């Protein structure tokens, strides 16, 4: 870890970010940088993994990955939501292979070591043949879990600070925008595979400078001249796009460190929780969870999902194009248009801060 701090601490990069240069192009391609991001960001940060509807009853579970760390989230018999490393204490297989389901225990698919829903080892085949088999020392590694409304967050760090330290004023901002989690249901998940580094996908979300050029339909609806960017918060930034000809109405966006994007639209607003999952240095997966108010009409849901899919596909073309350009080595870094792209600078400073350990 100390070695990495040295590698990615560079006063020249820190001051370049202040000036509005972007992170070095090679940080979007380099497998060593990606490895450092997994260890220093994705193994330490609070990350959205899914929603409470996925673990409605005791025994319900789903699996995911934080960086390359396999995780299983389960509702235990006492009603608590738990998260464990989905890695067997026997020989290291993933315990659960399925994406989701319901079980009374977590039995490893390899040799059948069986864990209780609280992560403790309940039984291992032939355990009576092995003297002093200390089951109590062989529980699954447990991770911090917290919820915000229906959203479940997991932090794999043993030194995790509370989720509220990261989300800060964001719940209040959402409430002010009219979000009422109690009235919302998760209706749909869309998954997009993107041939671009996860940072490119987040950065693309953090500016609407590209909207007039790259999103013609969006720009017929949203006043992109009046688009507002707010970067005064530590771990998130917020965005507001007024609707043309409809004063007081607009679309709210937010980006929460490290990889969660929110989109709030409609009145009362529907919410998208969009996680940008890092796959490798040049690939990511965008998972879009659509939450709608209980009284949203079928037509509204269809329109919103279609519009969001159109804009997402336009964005993917942009992100993959940036990846090819940054990979080429033709430029060492980019140059931000700060009046419009402060959200990118805000995000990149956090990336630098975590990779440098400063």
Report CA-CA distances (Å) from 186 to 54, 214, 238, 339.
9, 29, 22, 35
Tell me the site size for ligand FES, rule CB under 6 A. 9
Least spacing, CB of residue 87 vs ligand FES, in Å: 9
Give whichever of 127 and 309 is closer to ligand FES, judged by the CB atom: 127
Among 23-31, 90-98, 141-149, 338-346, the segment contacting ligand FES (CB under 6 A): 90-98
- Pick the binder of ligand FES from 4, 5, 30, 110 (CB under 6 A): 110
Per CB under 6 A, the list member of 6, 111, 217, 302 interacting with ligand FES is 111
DSSP H helix total and E strand total for the chain = 10, 17
| CA gap 218, 357 in Å, rounded | 39
- The C-alpha atoms of residue 36 and residue 1 are separated, in whole angstroms, by 9
Q: Residue 110: which of ligand FES, Fe ion, none does it interact with, CB under 5 to 8 A by kind? A: ligand FES
Q: Which is nearer to ligand FES, 110 or 148 (CB)?
A: 110
| Token digits of residue 221 | 């609806």
Strands 69-75 and 60-66 turn out to be antiparallel
* From the list ligand FES, Fe ion, none, partner contacted by residue 265 (C-beta under 5 to 8 A by kind): none
Nearest to 236 by CA among 148, 164, 147, 167: 167
Are the beta carbons of 215 and 205 closer than 8 angstroms? no
122 binds, among ligand FES, Fe ion, none (CB under 5 to 8 A by kind): none
Query: Following CA atoms 11, 15, 17, 23 in sequence, which dihedral angle do they give, to the nearest 10 degrees?
Result: -30
Taking the complex as a whole, the smallest distance from the CB of residue 103 to ligand FES amounts, in Å, to: 15
Considering only 42-50, 84-92, 96-104, 326-334, which stretch makes contact with ligand FES by CB under 6 A?
Answer: 84-92
Question: What DSSP letter does each residue of 224-283 carry, written as one string?
Answer: GGG-EEE--SSSEEEEEEEBTT-TT-EEEEEEETTTEEEEEEETTEEEEEEEEEEEETTE
Per CB under 5 A, which of residues 214..273 are in contact with Fe ion?
none
Q: Is residue 341 close enough to count as binding Fe ion by CB under 5 A?
A: no
Strands 121-123, 283-293: pairing kind: unpaired
127 interacts with ligand FES by CB under 6 A? no
Task: Pick the piece of the chain touching Fe ion (CB under 5 A) from 154-162, 190-198, 307-315, 323-331.
Answer: 307-315
- Residue with Cβ nearer ligand FES (85 or 163): 85
216: partner contacted, choices ligand FES, Fe ion, none (Cβ within 5-8 A by kind)? none
Q: How far apart are CA 287 and CA 277, in angstroms?
A: 8
Considering CB distances under 5 to 8 angstroms, the limit depending on partner class, which of ligand FES, Fe ion, none binds residue 315? Fe ion
DSSP line for 40-104: IIITTS-EEEEEGGGG-STTEEEEEEETTEEEEEEE-TTS-EEEEE---TTT---S--SSEEE-S
Do residues 61 and 84 touch, judged by C-beta distance below 8 A? no
90 binding ligand FES? (CB under 6 A): yes
Both structure tokens of 342: 């402060």
Residue 91, interface with ligand FES (CB under 6 A)? Answer: yes
Instruction: Give 113 or 239: the residue with its C-beta nearer to ligand FES.
Output: 113
- Is 203 near Fe ion (CB under 5 A)? no
| Residue written as token pair 């402060």 | 342
315 is a contact residue toward Fe ion (CB under 5 A): yes
Residues 308-337, interacting with ligand FES (CB under 6 A): none
Which stretches of the chain bind Fe ion, using CB under 5 A?
A: 315
Which stretches of the chain bind ligand FES, using CB under 6 A?
A: 88, 90-91, 93, 108, 110-113
């Amino acid at each position: 870890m100390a070695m990495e701090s040295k590698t990615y601490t560079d006063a020249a990069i820190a001051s370049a970010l202040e000036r509005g240069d972007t992170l070095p192009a090679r940080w979007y391609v380099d497998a060593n940088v990606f490895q450092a991001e997994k260890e220093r960001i994705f193994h330490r940060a609070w990350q959205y993994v899914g929603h409470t509807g996925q673990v409605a009853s005791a025994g319900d579970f789903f699996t995911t990955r934080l960086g390359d760390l396999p995780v299983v989230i389960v509702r235990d018999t006492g009603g608590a939501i738990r998260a464990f490393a989905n890695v067997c204490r026997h020989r290291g297989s993933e315990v659960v292979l399925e994406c989701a389901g319901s079980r009374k225990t977590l039995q490893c698919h390899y040799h059948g070591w069986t864990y209780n829903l609280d992560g403790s080892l309940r039984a291992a085949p032939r355990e009576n043949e092995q003297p002093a088999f200390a089951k109590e020392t062989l529980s699954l590694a447990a991770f911090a879990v917290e919820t915000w409304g229906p959203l479940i967050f997991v932090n794999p760090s043993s030194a995790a600070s509370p989720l509220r330290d990261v989300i800060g004023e964001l719940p209040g901002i959402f409430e002010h925008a009219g979000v009422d989690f109690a009235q919302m249901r998760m209706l749909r998940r869309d998954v997009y595979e993107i041939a671009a580094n996860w940072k490119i996908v987040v950065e693309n979300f953090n500016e609407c400078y590209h909207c007039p050029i790259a999103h013609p339909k969006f720009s017929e609806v949203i006043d992109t001249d009046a688009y507002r960017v707010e970067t005064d918060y530590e771990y998130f930034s917020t965005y507001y796009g007024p609707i043309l000809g409809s004063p007081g109405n607009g679309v709210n966006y937010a980006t929460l460190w490290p990889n969660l994007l929110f989109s709030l639209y409609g009145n009362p607003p529907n919410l998208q929780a969009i996680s940008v999952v890092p796959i490798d240095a040049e690939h990511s997966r965008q998972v879009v969870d659509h939450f709608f108010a209980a009284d949203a009409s079928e037509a509204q849901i269809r329109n919103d999902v279609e519009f969001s899919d159109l804009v997402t596909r336009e964005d993917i073309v942009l992100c993959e194009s940036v990846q090819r350009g940054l990979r080429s080595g033709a430029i060492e870094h980019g140059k931000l248009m700060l009046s419009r792209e402060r959200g990118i600078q805000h995000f990149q400073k956090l990336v630098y801060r975590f990779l440098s350990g400063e």
